[in-house]
Structure formats: C-alpha cells, structure tokens
Structure 1
Amino acid sequence: MSVLTSAPAPSPPFLHTPYDGSKQPFSVGLEPTTEAQWLEPDTFLVQHLTYKKQLLESRRHKVVQAEPDTEAAQQEIHDLILSHLRVHQPSYATRNGTIVPPGLSAADVQPMPGDPPLVVAARLVQEDLVLMRKGPEGYRLAAACLCFPSSWSLLEKFRKSMHDIHVGVPGFNGTRLGNVVARIFDNLKPTQLVARFNWSIYDDDDLHHPEPKQIDPQLTGDGGASLAGLFIRVERQTLRRLPGSGDILFTIKIHHDPLELLNSHPNGGNWAAGLRQQLLGLDEHQLSYKGLSQHRATLAQALQDLASAPATS
C-alpha cells in the first residue's frame, strides 16, 4: 500500500469568492457557464493529480464506487472530458494518442488494470466526477471517483437518492430548496452547462476530507484573534446532462485559500467583511453543519479586524 505524502498546495488564492455577498449560502445559486470554462486546471494540477493517484492506489474502495450497469455512461463521460481537454485545454499534450496533463508524463496518468472509464478520465483532471442516475426515488449517486470530498463519505452516500444524500443538510429536504433542485435535475438539457459554489472553513489544507466537519483552530495571536492556519475551502460544482445515457454528470473542483492571505490582497478587506456577514447570518443548524458552532464569535472578530485594517503587501 502506498503511503500518502503531505497534502497538495492550495490553488491560486481567491479565484472564486462566493462569500463576498454575491451568493447566499444554502441556496441553489446555479449560473450558466461555458464549455471553455467547464474544467479548471490550475498551477497546482501536478500536485493534485499526484495526490489523487496516491488515493486511488491506497484507498481505492473509499474513493471509487460504481453500479455495474454504468459502464456506457462512464465511457460517455470519459469521451466528453477527453474531447474537452483536446479542444479547450491547450496546455495538455497528446502523445501517441494519449492525453497528458502539463508537468506529468504518460506513465503518471497510466490507468491501473481494471480502471473503469470514469477513473481513467478522473486521473486527468483535478475535478471529482459523480454520475447521477434517475430511478423511482429520484436521482441517485450511481458512480463516482471522489478523491477530495468536503466532509462526506462516498461509501455512505453511494446508491443513495438526492433526498437521502442530503439528510442533515439544513433546509434541503421537505423545503422549497429540495424541490427546486429536483426540478432542475429533471429539466436540465444536454445543451445546458451550469455551475454553483459552496464554502467551508477548515484548519488544514488537505483536500481529502471524508470525516464530518469540526475544526479546532488556534484563534489566538498578538493583539487578538488570528486567522493563521485557517483555510476557506470553495467547491465549484458543475452539472450537465449526458446526451447519450441521459444521466447527469456532477463535477466538483476544490479551491483552498489561506485566510491569512486576505491581509495582503487588495480586495481582502471587502472579502473578509463579506465572509463575516455570511458567518453571522447562519442559523444554529447551518452553523453546526459547517462545524463552526464554537467559533463564530472569534472568527467574526478576526474577520472584522482584518476588514478594518489596511492591506499589507
């Protein structure tokens, strides 16, 4: 069994800031995106794919699951991703017919014996890939290569319906939000490509977080609370219907930004103020779900201090 190395470096900071007031937490928040913007390889592509390879070798059963009759849909996802990389990601090379990410060799992304098409494709992109299929109880999680979960377990969610997957998510089941999501899944057309964002706060930069959210930050420092050691974790999720199978492909890309870098960013004060406002707006259930029940007041104070301080360079 391979030994995991240290977690990959965070993505370039603050590419997406859904906590800035432009979006509301625990809402659908879907917006159209384009084929060219569908996937987001960045400067940490090599580190993330290396980490994904290690997880596929050492924790295979925890990060890959698939129903036996999903092979054709998986192949459709594989072909869709390779076509996208050839057309829209010129930094990827083609060597002897094999797509190779920049900074890696063909051997680095070589499939293991028995790799299904979903995993072959997942080895090439930073995104996690989830296949949703409609059944009698609505859409269910029928297959996935999920290496970088944000506090949920693929083993626990595999084959579960949208309703059961979201048990415990504040305001989802039995509310307008759950009904809206169900209609979106039913009405999504193959020509549509949509994206949404989530944010969470963690006290490490590890991408692989299958355990429940519960941070233990050391919020002390000279002159008051400090954000050092905390990361804002942003999930960029996309949805698209596969034209052949009719299933839905759900992608998840993780961005991990050190909160202390807000101190040196020109927009850091505004983003800190926006994050503080969203934090203070969470109700008790939402706060608990994000693992922040014990830390809201201290975090809010630290963000207020940062928002009111001049940016440093």
Structure 2
Amino acid sequence: MKNLPCIGLAILLLTFVALKIRKDLLPSWLAATKHLVKHAGCNDLKRMAPYPAQPIKGRERYRVMMDIKKLDVENWLTLDKNYMDEHLVRSQLLAHEKHKVLQCLPESYDACLEALEEVVEFLTQRFANMFEMKKYGEKTMVYNRMTGETFAFGGARSEQMDPLEIAVRLTMEDLSILMKNADGEYYLAASASLFPVGWTVAERIGWTISQLHNPVPLWHQQVANSVSKFLCRLTPHSPMERSNYFVEVKRPDEDLFEILYRPTTLSEDNPDPSPQDIVIRRERQTFRRLPRTGTILFGVKTFLTTLEELPMQELENLAREVNSWPEHVGEYKGREIWGAKVLEFCEKKKQQQEMESEKMEV
C-alpha cells in the first residue's frame, strides 16, 4: 500500500511524457493550435471581425522592403464576416475564368495535394464547428458547413477536383506553390490566385520569382538577393509572413467581383475618383515550407478598406508615404490618378478633427 503514491506518480509522469512526445511529433507551427478554444459557430460568422491588417507605417523614404516576421501560426488561415460574399466571387471565378486564375504544372501535383492536406487539417482543428473531415481508407472527405459543399481527395487521381482548387474553395486565401528549378531559382509551379493585382496566373505560370517582380521598381536592386536567401532558408518549423498594400480606384457602380478581381489594372476608368471610390487594398502574405515535398506554400489574404474608413493616423501615414515616392514609383502605383485626392481628403479630415477638438475645449 505504501508504494501506491509512487506508482500513481509514475503513471502521471509517463502520461505527461507520452502527451508531450505526441505533441512534439506534430509540426511546431501546427502544434501551437492544439490548445485553441474553438472559434465562433457558423451562426456567428457574420460577427467575426477580419484579422487585423498591418497598419500603414508612414515611412518618409521609399524603399522596397521584405518586412518579414514570424507567422502568427494560430491564424495561418483566417475566416471572417466577409467569407460568404468572397466565397461567391471565388466560385464565380472558378466557374467562368478558371484557366486565368488556376494553373498547376504537372510536377506540382504532390505539393498541391500536401498543401490541401495541411489546409484541411488546420481548418478542421481551428474552425472545427465550420469544417468537418472524415477518412474512408485512402479517401478523405471534407465538409464545409457554411456552404454545404463536400469535397473528396486521395485515392484515384483522375476522378477528383484539383487539390489546389479544393483548398481555395475552402479558404479566404489565395494559394500558390513555389518549386526550385535546375538553376536553383524558385518558380511559380502552381497557383490559385483569384484576386490578383495586374496579372493572371495563365500569363505567369512557370515564371521565376525574379520574372514575377520585373515590373516592380527597385525590386531587383534592393531586395532580390534577400528574397532568394529567405526562400532558401525557410524551414517547416519557421513559417513567416509579411504585408503590403496598394491603392485601388473603382468605379461607383462596381460590385465586389469587379473590385476583387483586378487582372489588368488597379485604376479603372475613373479619372476623377471620390474618397468613396479609393480603396486601400492590403495583402497578408504567408510562407510555409511543406514538410513532405519541401516546396513552399505561399498564401495571400486580401483586405479592402475605403479611404473614408482609414483612421486618422493611417491616413496621415498614407499621405506621408505617397509624398515620399520617387516619380517612377508613383507612376507605377497610379499616383497621378488618385494622389491629389488622397492628400486633399487627408488635409480636410485633419482640419475637421482640429476644429472638433477646439469646440470640445471651449
């Protein structure tokens, strides 16, 4: 009887060790999600605020920067109140413009399948009351409770939808696979980019990272080498993320489909835009090295904010950055169309806030 406390302590210790070993077998980025409280239920989707977008910093000197930081692994993929509206746009694009927004080179299939497996595992754990996964031998079924859709993958390849298409029908993120070619350069081997900015996947599938960034002013001079080193050093246990933004001009009559799908230009036929027609288009970009295939899964989540919705500090920071751009950078970004309007709106809002502050003091 005297040994019972010791035996109990030993069992407790072994249980703890076993659980720790089990957790350590998981990729480190995913293990962190295991303790999460499940997200709001399907009925609460409309109340889920978007993941906080990186604020505009207001740099006074223009420079192309990577601004890489560690990935917020608990929010690798995100859902919010815009899910159903954007899902409709994604479904329309895949139905009518599929060849433009989805391309997968033959050598990318295994990586696309691994990417889908990672997406499904994450979503069914992070948002367990919105997505359900069941396995039937080699086949996996994933059920989207929000849309009522069910997708199958695994087993006979010819009978199923492309893995990357299934993945982007589930997510709010666009997803791409980067693979290394014989010269050691990463290239776009597969991509489901439904909300592009000035390009389509059909045009650029197979392009190297350098080719993809040819139009970007100063990219090759300032960050090309850093980007190459970063991609080569990325490991399955060191996922990263970064953010950037564009200024987009829409027509007053444009719907969400036309605002999100921008394959030609950020400035539509609206030479005199109002503040309501000027949209800050932000991207949260994520980078993960897939453990089995060793390829890189690149994700892009798009956020839209009108100029009127920007808080005063960000508005001032935007004006500061717009003024800092060299002429060729401003031309690339479309500043001649919306620049004066942004600066005018910022100044008016600043004066308005100053007047309101003075009234409150009186």
- Between the aligned partners of 2:83 and 2:51, the Cα distance in structure 1 is 16
1:185 corresponds, among 231, 250, 264, to 231
* CA deviation string 1:246-299 (max 9, x = no partner): 11111011101121223xxxxx11111011111111112221221223432332
Moved more, 69-78 or 147-156: 147-156
Larger relative contact order (CA 8 Å, sep ≥ 6): 1
* CA deviation string 1:190-218 (max 9, x = no partner): 11111111111112351111113335546
Q: Residues 293, 286 of structure 1: CA spacing in aligned structure 2 closer, same or farther, 3 A cutoff?
A: same
Report the TM-score, using the length of structure 2 for normalisation: 0.73
Q: Residues 95, 135 of structure 1: CA spacing in aligned structure 2 closer, same or farther, 3 A cutoff?
A: closer
Offset at residue 310 of structure 1 (A) = 2.4
Q: Is the 8 A contact 2:239 2:288 kept in 1?
A: yes
Give the letter for the 1:18 counterpart: P
Say yes or no: does 1:33 pair with 2:71. Answer: yes
Moved more, 71-80 or 145-154: 145-154
Give the letter for the 2:322 counterpart: L
Offset at residue 219 of structure 1 (A) = 4.7
Q: Residues 271, 219 of structure 1: CA spacing in aligned structure 2 closer, same or farther, 3 A cutoff?
A: farther
Say yes or no: does 1:83 pair with 2:121. Answer: yes
Give the letter for the 1:236 counterpart: R
Q: Residues 291, 110 of structure 1: CA spacing in aligned structure 2 closer, same or farther, 3 A cutoff?
A: farther
Structure 2 residue aligned with 1:257:
305
Give the letter for the 1:82 counterpart: V
Which structure features the higher share of helix residues?
Answer: 2
Point out the structure with max Rg over C-alpha. Answer: 2
Offset at residue 104 of structure 1 (A) = 1.4
- Between the aligned partners of 1:25 and 1:99, the Cα distance in structure 2 is 43
Identity %: 25
Q: Mapping of 1:16-165 within 5 angstroms?
A: 16-21=53-58, 26-94=64-132, 98-106=141-149, 114-137=160-183, 138-165=185-212
1:244 corresponds, among 292, 310, 320, to 292
Offset at residue 44 of structure 1 (A) = 0.9
Q: Where does the alignment leave 5 or more consecutive residues of structure 1 unmatched? A: 1-8, 221-225, 263-267
Q: Is the 8 A contact 2:124 2:133 kept in 1?
A: no
Q: Residues 100, 276 of structure 1: CA spacing in aligned structure 2 closer, same or farther, 3 A cutoff?
A: farther
- Between the aligned partners of 1:120 and 1:147, the Cα distance in structure 2 is 13
Q: Is the 8 A contact 1:215 1:292 kept in 2?
A: no
Give the letter for the 1:168 counterpart: P
Report the TM-score, using the length of structure 1 for normalisation: 0.84
How many positions carry a matched residue from both structures? 291
Structure 2 residue aligned with 1:211:
264
Q: Is the 8 A contact 1:131 1:142 kept in 2?
A: yes
Moved more, 207-216 or 147-156: 207-216
Give the letter for the 1:172 counterpart: W
- Between the aligned partners of 1:17 and 1:96, the Cα distance in structure 2 is 36
* CA deviation string 1:66-124 (max 9, x = no partner): 111211111100000011112212342327664344531126x6899652111111110
Offset at residue 19 of structure 1 (A) = 1.4
4+ residue runs of structure 1 moved beyond 6 angstroms? 22-25, 109-113
- Between the aligned partners of 1:90 and 1:125, the Cα distance in structure 2 is 14
Q: Is the 8 A contact 1:215 1:291 kept in 2?
A: no
Give the letter for the 2:100 counterpart: K
- Between the aligned partners of 1:40 and 1:90, the Cα distance in structure 2 is 13
- Between the aligned partners of 1:300 and 1:171, the Cα distance in structure 2 is 25
Q: Is the 8 A contact 1:272 1:304 kept in 2?
A: no
